[in-house]
Structure 1
Amino acid sequence: MSAKNDVIGGNAALWFVDRHVGEGRGDGIAFREAFGDNREISYGDLAEQSARFAGACHRAGLRREERAIMLVLDQIEFPVIFWGALKAGIVPIPLNTLLSTSVYDAIFHDSRASALFVSNELYETIAPALPLNPFIREVIVIGDSAPEGARTFNAFMEGAEPAEPVTVCDDEVAFWLYSSGSTGQPKGVRHVHSSLKATADTYGAQVLGVRQDDTVYSVAKLFFAYGLGNGMTFPMAVGATTLLYNGRPTPDSVSQILTEHRPTVFCGVPTLYAALVHKWESEGAHPDAPLRTCISAGEALPEEVGRKWQAVWGVDIMDGVGSTEMLHIFLSNRPGDVVYGTSGVPVPGYEVRLVDEAGADVGVGEVGELLVRGASSADGYWNQRDKSRSTFEGHWTRTGDKYELTPDGRYVYCGRTDDMFKVSGIWVSPFEVEQALVSHPAVLEAAVVAKRDDDGLEKPKAFLVLKSGQAGDPDALKAFVQDKIGKWKYPRWVEIVDDLPKTATGKIQRFKLRETA
C-alpha cells in the first residue's frame, strides 16, 4: 500500500504505519520479539498485514465503531490488530493481561465489545466469562489452535483482502483504555485519533527524542498508556525499532534483554529500576548495552534509585508523570536537566496548574491538586457522565495528584488526593483490596494503606480484624487476594489487629493507619 507523505491528520494508522512505506522506510524493522524465535515485522509488512486485518474484520461482519477487546500479550500480533482495527474503523480496547475473570467479565459487559482477540496463554482466564456474554460474536485466539466456538488468528486472516483505511476526522474516537478509579471499578477512557500524534509530537519528540536508528525497550506493556507510547507510537513516529517481550519483566529477564538485544532507549518503572540496581550491586556487574536514554513513570522515582542508576550507566533516568486520561507523560525531567526527587517541568505543549479545594491557584511552596491541559486529553469516560464531568473540566483535566511547585519552577509529588496509590506503576484501590480480603471466611474487617518498602516504593499493607475463633495465615491471605483481583494488588504485609480506628459514623480512619504502617 502507498501513503501520502503529507498526512498530518485523519486516520492515525496512515501516519504511524503507511507513511513509512511512502517515505522509503518500508524495509525498516518496526517490531522484534525478544523471546522465542525473535520474530520481527517490517513497516512495509505491518502496513500490509494491518490492511488485511481490516479486510478480515469487514469480511467477518464487524462494523465501523463496534468495539474489539484486545487481551493480547506484547507480541507481533498486537500492532497488527491495533492498527488494523483503526484502519477498519473499529475501536480496539487493549486490556491489562493480569486481571481476574470477574473483572474481565465486568469490562466485557461494560464495553459491549463485539469481538475478542486473545493470546492463547490468556484464554483459560476469560473462558468462564464467555458463555453468558450476549455481545461478543467473534473470539479469535492467537495461537496454533482454538477451542470450540473460536478460531485462530491465522484462520481469521487467511485469504482476507487488504482494505483501504476508513476516512475519519481527527476528533473521532480511535481506541479505549480501561483505568481503575477511586472505587476500583474499571472506567473506559476514550481517546481520539489525533491524541496519538499529539503525544508523539510533544513528549515523544521533544523530551524522549527517539531517533530512527534507536531500538526501544519498554518494560511497561503496550496495554498501558505509558507502554503504548513508549513501545509503539513514539518509535513508530520516526521509524525506529521496538523490542517486544511477552513475559514478566523480572530483573533476570530484563538483564538478558539488555545483553542480547542491546536497546538504546529503556523505559522502566521505579520498582524495576530499584530491583535491577540491587541485582547488579550484589553481582558486581551489569549488562553491556548502549543505553543513551532512560525514562520512568507510573509512580515517583526515589532519589537514591536514580542516582545509583546514573552511577552504573552514566545515563540519568528522566522521571515524569502522566495518566491514562492524558495518554502519556505531561510533566517530566528533561535531557540534561534532571533533578531527582522531582517530576520536572511541563512537557512542551502542555500547561499545568496547582489548585486548592476551592479551585483557586496556589502559590510557590504550597500543595495543590495538579490540573493539566493539552491536545491528548481523553474524550471522556464511557457511560460515566458524573465522573467525566468531575475529571474533565473544559480544557483542564484533574489528575488526582497533589504537587508542590518549587521556587525554581519544578514540581514535587506529594501524594494522592484520595487513598489511591500505585504499585509497579499500576493504580491500586484500597477499597478493592479490602473487599477481596473481607470475602475470605476468616476476615471480619479490613483496611489497606500504602507502605513504603526498603527502596522507598509504595506497596499495600493490610490491617485485618478476624472473626471470632478464626486464625489468619498471612501467606494464604496474600495468595487469596492475588487469585481474586490481580497479581500485583495483594498486600505485602498483613497485620492482625483487635480493631480499626473509625470515626463516630463508622468510617475507617486510614490516615491513622498510615501513621503506624
Structure 2
Amino acid sequence: MRAADALPAQFNAAQWFVGRHVAQGNGDRIALLSDGEQLTYAQLDDAVRRFAAALEAQGVHRGERVAIALPDSRAWSVAFWGALAAGAVAVPLNTLLTPDDYRAILADCDARLAIADPAIVDGAAVAPPGCIIWDAAHLLEQVECTTPRADYQQTHRDSFAFFLYSSGTTGEPKGVVHLHHDPWICARTYGERVLGVRPGDRAFSIAKLFFAYGLGNAQYFPMDAGAACILFAGRPTPPAVFEQVARHRPTLFFGVPTAYAQMLAAMDAGAEADFSSVRACVSAGESLPAPIFERWKERTGLEILDGIGSTEICHIFLTNEFGACRAGSSGKPVPGYRVRIVDEEGHDVEGEDIGDLLVEGDSTMALYWNKHERTKAVLEGSWIRTGDKYRRDADGYYWHAGRSDDMLKVGGIWVSPVEVEAALTAHEAVLECAVVGREDRDGLIKPHAYVVLKSPKQAPTESEFQHFVKERLAPYKYPRWVTIVDGLPKTATGKIQRFQLRERSRA
C-alpha cells in the first residue's frame, strides 16, 4: 500500500494546506508574513478561491498550466495555491533565467496563462501564442473584484498539481511533474517526523519558492501545521537575512551551504546576528562542509540539519536529525523513504563501497514533461536514480562522493559546464575552453574555466571574461576563476579529459 493511499481519492492540495485550517476553525492564524503585511489563513483562503474563480473566468481549464514568474510574495502564494484550487497546474519559474530560458519553458509546458513581474521578464515577449499574460498588480485586482469559488476543485490525489523545471544532469530544462499528494507526503515525513513543525512555528527560507527546497520550506511544511511562512522578495545577502531574522523571529531557518558560509564571514567581520528565536537550522542544495557545520554551531549554538533532496523527489530524503548530526554527512533516510547504493550492474554494493544512489518514496515525480526517454532513464519501477555517487558508513550514515556526471551545483543551483563553455566560446578571443568544479576556501563548488586563446597577444583579463559571461547567462553561472592554458587535455578521439582539469584545480 502506498503512503498516499491514506488520503481520500478526491484530494486537492490547496484545500489541505490552505482551506482546511479555515474549516477547522483556525482561520485567524497567521499564514504569510512579509515586509509590511501579513495574511491570515482565512484571508489567504478567500484570495485563493477568488483567484481560482478568476482563472476559470479567463477560460483556464482543469489541467492547463499557469506559469508564475514572481518574487516571493503574497501574490506568489495566491497564484500557486489558486491554480491548484482551480484544478489547473502551477508552474513556478526561476526568477534568474534569461529571456530565451523563459521562452523555451513556457513553450514546453504550453502555458495557458503566465503571471510575470516585468522586473523579471517581459511576459509578452517570451509567451507562446495564445498564452494570457498578467502581472502581479493585475492578479491582485482580479482577486479583489472576483467572487470567490465556493469550494476547491475536486481533483484526484494523483492529479497533476505542479511542474518544477530543473536543469538536472543534462543542462536542458526538464519539467518535473508532481501530483497533489506529493507535498502532503513530504510534509508528513520530513516536515512532521524530522522537524516536528507545529502551529507556533515561523519558517524562513533563503531558498526561493521556485525551488523544490524553498517550496517545502516556506509553503507546505509550515502550512501543513497551520504555522506561518515568512516571505522575502529580496536577495538573501547576509545583512538582509539578519534583518529579516531580527524582524520576524523565525523558529525554523532553511539555508544552503553557500549562505551559511557568507553569514559566518559577515559575523567574523563584525556583523550582528541574533538567531536566538531559531530552534532548527536546515541545509540542502549541496553538501555542507564539516568546517561550516562546526563554525555555525560554535557561533550560534545551533546544529545544522544537513540533508540531500532533489526536484524529482520533491524535497529532502536523506537527513541528519536533532542530536544525531554527523558533520560532513548527508545523514540517514527520512522516515518513509528507502535508499540503495548500487554498482554499475545494479547490484547493491558491499560495505562502504561507492556506488550510484537510488531512492524510493511516494513523493517521487510522475514523469519529466515531454521527455519520455529521459523519464525511462531515471525511473526503475518505484526507484529513481539521483545521479549522485554515495557511500554508507558502518553506522548507516550516507556520505556524498560526487556527481555521476559533470554537472555542477553552485549555491544549490545546477549549472551546466557546457552552457558556460558555450558562453565563453562566443568571445572573439577564445579558441576553446572547458569548465569544471573547484572548491573555494569554504569547500563549496564554483565554476573554474580553462581557456585557450586564439592568439596569446589577445588576452582579456579574468574580470573581462567574467563580465562577458554574466551578460549572457544567469549571474550565478559565471566562472569564479579563469585560467589561460596553451591547450586542453584530450583523448585520442578529441574528447576533453575533464578529470585532468579537476585534478589541476585541486592542486
Q: What's the C-alpha RMSD, in Å, of the aligned pairs? A: 1.4
Q: Is the 8 A contact 2:308 2:318 kept in 1?
A: yes
Deviation at 1:386, TM superposition (A): 1.1
Q: Which is further off, 77-86 or 478-487?
A: 478-487
- Distance (Å, rounded) in 2 between the aligned partners of 1:421 and 1:312: 29
1:245-283 CA-to-partner distances (Å, cap 9, x unmatched) read 001100111111112221111000000101111111221
Q: Which residue of 1 aligns with 2:472?
A: 484
| Aligned: 1:290 with 2:290 | no
- Distance (Å, rounded) in 2 between the aligned partners of 1:397 and 1:480: 38
| Aligned: 1:506 with 2:494 | yes
Q: Is the 8 A contact 1:123 1:141 kept in 2?
A: no
- Distance (Å, rounded) in 2 between the aligned partners of 1:53 and 1:225: 23
Q: Which residue of 2 aligns with 1:91?
A: 89
Deviation at 1:127, TM superposition (A): 4.9
1:69-118 CA-to-partner distances (Å, cap 9, x unmatched) read 10011001111111110011111100110011111111111111011101
Q: Is the 8 A contact 1:9 1:15 kept in 2?
A: no
Q: Is the 8 A contact 2:9 2:157 kept in 1?
A: no
| Aligned: 1:211 with 2:209 | no
Deviation at 1:208, TM superposition (A): 1.6
Q: Which residue of 2 aligns with 1:199?
A: 186
Which among 381, 385, 388 is matched to residue 401 of structure 1? Answer: 388
| Aligned: 1:28 with 2:29 | yes
Q: Which residue of 1 aligns with 2:419?
A: 432
Q: Which residue of 2 aligns with 1:185?
A: 172
- Amino acid in the other structure paired with 1:244: L
1:468-507 CA-to-partner distances (Å, cap 9, x unmatched) read 3532232122122222221111100011111100111111
Q: Which residue of 2 aligns with 1:146?
A: none
- Distance (Å, rounded) in 2 between the aligned partners of 1:452 and 1:378: 31
- Amino acid in the other structure paired with 2:136: I
Equivalences for residues 95-244 of structure 1 within 5 A: 95-124=93-122, 126-130=123-127, 133-136=128-131, 138-143=132-137, 152-163=138-149, 164-244=151-231
Tell me the SS of whatever aligns to 1:242: strand
- Amino acid in the other structure paired with 2:117: S
Q: Which residue of 1 aligns with 2:3?
A: none
- Amino acid in the other structure paired with 1:98: L
- Amino acid in the other structure paired with 1:160: T
Deviation at 1:121, TM superposition (A): 2.3
1:336-386 CA-to-partner distances (Å, cap 9, x unmatched) read 111101000000000000001111110121001100000000001011111
Structure 1: which 5+ residue stretches go unaligned?
1-5, 144-151
Q: Is the 8 A contact 2:407 2:415 kept in 1?
A: yes
- Distance (Å, rounded) in 2 between the aligned partners of 1:183 and 1:352: 23
Deviation at 1:325, TM superposition (A): 0.1
Q: Is the 8 A contact 1:259 1:289 kept in 2?
A: no
Return the TM-score normalized by structure 1: 0.94
- Distance (Å, rounded) in 2 between the aligned partners of 1:187 and 1:464: 29
Q: Which residue of 2 aligns with 1:148?
A: none
Deviation at 1:288, TM superposition (A): 5.0
Which among 334, 338, 359 is matched to residue 372 of structure 1? Answer: 359
| Aligned: 1:451 with 2:438 | yes
Q: Which residue of 2 aligns with 1:414?
A: 401
Q: Which is further off, 164-173 or 192-201?
A: 164-173
- Distance (Å, rounded) in 1 between the aligned partners of 2:192 and 2:10: 17
Q: Which residue of 2 aligns with 1:355?
A: 342
- Distance (Å, rounded) in 2 between the aligned partners of 1:134 and 1:376: 33
Equivalences for residues 253-402 of structure 1 within 5 A: 253-283=240-270, 285-402=272-389
- Amino acid in the other structure paired with 1:140: W
Q: Is the 8 A contact 1:65 1:90 kept in 2?
A: yes
- Distance (Å, rounded) in 2 between the aligned partners of 1:201 and 1:155: 35
1:289-334 CA-to-partner distances (Å, cap 9, x unmatched) read 3111000000000101111111122110000000000000000001
- Distance (Å, rounded) in 2 between the aligned partners of 1:159 and 1:79: 18
Deviation at 1:439, TM superposition (A): 1.7
- Amino acid in the other structure paired with 2:106: F
Equivalences for residues 35-54 of structure 1 within 5 A: 35=35, 38-54=36-52
Q: Which residue of 2 aligns with 1:3?
A: none
Tell me the SS of whatever aligns to 1:298: coil
Return the TM-score normalized by structure 2: 0.96
Tell me the SS of whatever aligns to 1:283: coil
Q: Is the 8 A contact 1:179 1:186 kept in 2?
A: yes
Query: What is the identity percentage for the equivalent residue pairs of Structure 1 and Structure 2?
Result: 47
- How many residue pairs match? The answer is 497
- Amino acid in the other structure paired with 1:142: A
Tell me the SS of whatever aligns to 1:446: strand
Structure 2: which 5+ residue stretches go unaligned?
1-6
Tell me the SS of whatever aligns to 1:106: helix
